[in-house]
Amino acid sequence: MSSLSKRIVVAAVQFLAISTLAMAQSEKTLSWSAAQRQDQAWYSSDEAKRIADNVLVYQHENGGWYKNIDMAEPLSKNGQKQLLKEKNDPKGTTIDNGATISQLEYLGKVYHTTQEEKYKAAFLKGIDYLLEAQYENGGWPQYYPIRKGYYQHITYNDNAMIGVMRLLREVAEENSSYDLVDAKRRAASREAIDRGLETILKTQVKINGKLTIWCAQHDKNTLEPVNARAFELASLSGAESVNIVRYLMQLPNPGSAVINAVENAVAWFEGHKVEGKEIKKVKDASLAKGYDLVVVDQPEASPLWARFYDLKTQQPIFVGRDGIKRAELKDIEYERRVGYSYLGNYAGRLLEKEYPRWKAGL
């Protein structure tokens, strides 16, 4: 083979390799998280419908979904068969970690652009699941059907109940993405969010006669703050309470009870900042993750709030898997210290921008 011929062959091989790589990259599936953040036009695409079909396969007969599953991951035929066999097992259907809510939001977008009846049917079944899961007093458990243990508590943790209420509020208001919902279900959704609002107002913790914020979970009967996992004690939640306040501020024409709840919660956040501190990531090759999280002095730092505040002292508490309250992050075990969010600028944007804007619009 001549030198010129060799160069032509090499160039052709390189071009083929580059083209193959580009094709592979273009065909790479989106993650479930990314699939939920596309432009509206994308939801009519073949890829959007492929993922929506996965969502249908993962939906259980009671209308709910399990949590922590990448719905966008391609399913093998054997995988689909196994999931179809498990459809009648509802023990893990939940609203935790965005489960059921995220699937319904996705199906709403796909139906809005495709008008395919199978997506509408699955969406309505999911709405029925959320409506059925609500307690008579207006709260929602983390899992439905009810599971023993902390799963049965009214759950604000990880935005569970608030996520449901935001979705049902959009359904009740005939949001353009959810115009597939019939009048009966819209009315039921309105009633559900009204009862949910009553629960929010009743569960706002009162200490020494003054309203504060909320616990991450409340007893389904007494509405009192309760424990969840060993490191999630009954407490005031500096994280979960932020989205509760945001939900209340989104309500049109708020009544005096809602305004009072917001004002008291915001005042509490203002009075319970952790100031002059910063969380620093310190490299340490000897540790399991190669770093540690350390709270250091930093006068110019933005304010922080603790994930948990003691119900009596209203001071930050840090709790590891032993369930013992401690006063500082450094005092709990390494695994929890770097594996869970105990401090953050949780209420920063709420106080700086969102609340002033809401207040000005009253």
CA torsion sign for 220, 222, 223, 228 is negative
pLDDT bucket at 21, cuts 50 / 70 / 90: very low
Which of 78-92, 100-114, 135-149 has the weakest average pLDDT?
Answer: 78-92
Q: Is the pLDDT of residue 6 over 70?
A: no
Domain ranges of the chain: 32-203
> So what's the pLDDT on residue 90?
84
Q: Is the pLDDT of residue 26 over 50?
A: no
What are the pLDDT digits (tens) for 304-316? Answer: 999 999 999 999 9
Q: Is the pLDDT of residue 174 over 80?
A: no
Q: Is the pLDDT of residue 47 over 60?
A: yes
Q: Which CATH class is domain 32-203?
A: mainly alpha
What SS3 state is found at 236?
strand
Backbone angles phi, psi at 210, to 5 degrees: -120, 135
What are the pLDDT digits (tens) for 314-331? Answer: 999 999 999 999 999 999
Instruction: Report d(CA 151, CA 170) in Å as an integer.
Output: 26
> So what's the pLDDT on residue 19?
39
> So what's the pLDDT on residue 232?
98
Instruction: Report d(CA 2, CA 288) in Å as an integer.
Output: 57
Q: From 1, 71, 84, select the one nearest 34 (Cα to Cα).
A: 71
**Tokens linked to 21:** 């790589």
If one compares 69 and 28, the residue with the highest pLDDT of the two is 69
Backbone angles phi, psi at 286, to 5 degrees: -80, -15
Q: Is the pLDDT of residue 27 over 90?
A: no
Instruction: Report d(CA 208, CA 31) in Å as an integer.
Output: 48
Which of 19-23, 47-51, 57-61, 113-117 has the weakest average pLDDT?
Answer: 19-23
Q: From 100, 139, 140, select the one nearest 123 (Cα to Cα).
A: 100
Is 326 annotated as catalytic?
Answer: no
Residues 6+ apart with CB under 8 A from 167: 101, 104, 105, 130
> So what's the pLDDT on residue 2?
56
**Percent of the residues in the chain that have a pLDDT greater than 70, as a whole number:** 92
Average pLDDT of 57-75?
A: 97
What are the pLDDT digits (tens) for 117-132? Answer: 999 999 999 999 999 9
> So what's the pLDDT on residue 3?
54
Beta strands in the chain, from DSSP E residues, in sequence order: 154-155, 206-207, 210-211, 217-218, 236-237, 277-283, 291-297, 305-306, 308-309, 318-319, 325-326, 343-344
Is 264 annotated as catalytic?
Answer: no
pLDDT bucket at 28, cuts 50 / 70 / 90: low
Residues 6+ apart with CB under 8 A from 356: none
> So what's the pLDDT on residue 236?
99
Q: Is the pLDDT of residue 11 over 50?
A: no
Average pLDDT of 56-67?
A: 98
What are the pLDDT digits (tens) for 284-295? Answer: 999 999 999 999
Q: Name the active-site residue from 97, 137, 260, 345.
A: 97
Kind plus residue range of the DSSP H or E element containing 220: none
> So what's the pLDDT on residue 29?
77
Residue by residue, DSSP assigns 75-144 as: PPHHHHHHHHHTTT--TT-B-GGGTTHHHHHHHHHHHHHH--HHHHHHHHHHHHHHHHHS-TTS--BSBS
Q: Name the active-site residue from 50, 147, 190, 229.
A: 229
